Amino acid sequence: MNRNPHVAVVGATGAVGIEMIKTLEKRNFPAGKLTLLASTRSVGKRLKYKRETITVQELTKAALAGIDIALFSAGGSISKEFAPIAAKAGCVVIDNSSAFRMDDTVPLVVPEINAADVKWHKGIIANPNCTTAVTLMALYPLHQAFHVKRIFASSYQAVSGTGAKAIEELKRQVAQIVNGQPVTKEVYPHQIAFNVLPHVDSFLPSGYTKEEMKMQNEGRKIMHHPAFRASVTCVRVPVYRAHSVAVSAEFEKPVTPDAARDVLSKAPGLDVVDTPEKAEYPLPLYVAEKDNCQVGRIRQDCALENGLCFWVSGDQLLKGAALNAVQIAEELLK
């Protein structure tokens, strides 16, 4: 890999694409050149990177020629069409969609957990689901110490997980309600302002949603733990940015809250915020725009053997998407 690679961001004008550009800059990623690609409707937009202004170009087969690393965040259908083309042309694709995550020939990577999996890529590396990534930042260190068997979890997912249009929808609805106007909806099937929707992604025949099953399926692959089980309810909440997850985890070995805090305080990319008597616990409002995830409300689970409850929050545009992708790119250069 070129030490100063030519990097492309595909889907550069979307919520995650913008964060990818910011993250490359903030982490001083040694890109020799940055190319910004998007669909025809975004062509000609100008975005700032370091001291330059870069014009967005149309994503075409030809536009991918000569790119060393491409960060894709333009949705699954675009990834399915263009990622294999880019890989064939010698580019390494880091894909933020769900298109390749469960493909056995594609590594699914959270660098703090399974960075070594980057080594066996065949041109495409998958970025995990945002809720899964945030949860595993706290769960995996505990798994290493106490070996997790199963979890029960509920997610509290920000609207930015759906994209820029959903952020606008929440803003618009809050203004409509405050001003006594009728509420209009385009993105979600119900009003999201002052409401919560137990519906993230599409429903499966089992009654779970696709998003809910990602925690188990992706968790198994990332942690190299094929017996891991996860029963999850994913909920969309009227928060702009940062996902939170309430987790009850059952382990093979006995675990105490103090032993868990000791393990979690040493975990990379994670801060322990756990002083409930001072009302200190992770909050999506305060974890927004932070690289690290936060964990708190650590306590013995009173309904499980060897059980532990905790609450984890993380910026899903960063650790759940852009930051994780750039960290994978950094691994490629090592």
Q: Which domains does the chain have, with CATH numbers?
A: 6-128+321-333 (3.40.50.720), 132-316 (3.30.360.10)
Question: Which one is catalytic: 130, 234, 293, 309?
Answer: 130
Q: Could you count the other beta carbons within 10 Å of the beta carbon of residue 205?
A: 5
Is 224 annotated in the active site? no
Q: What is the pLDDT of residues 163-188, one digit of tens each?
A: 889 999 999 999 999 999 999 999 99
Joined together, the tokens standing for residue 27 give 């982490």
Residue with tokens 């919560």: 196
Is 199 annotated in the active site? no
Q: Which residues of the chain have pLDDT under 70?
A: none
Strand partners of residue 46: 55
Question: Which one is catalytic: 91, 121, 234, 243?
Answer: 243
Q: 3-class SS at 234?
A: strand
CA atoms within 13 A on the CB side of 114: 23
Identify the pLDDT of residue 2: 86
Quick one: which of 90, 121, 120 has its CA closest to 5?
90
CA distance 225 to 231: 16
155 vs 18, 149, 197, CA distance in Å? 25, 19, 11
Identify the pLDDT of residue 319: 97
CA distance 10 to 37: 5
CA distance 291 to 313: 11
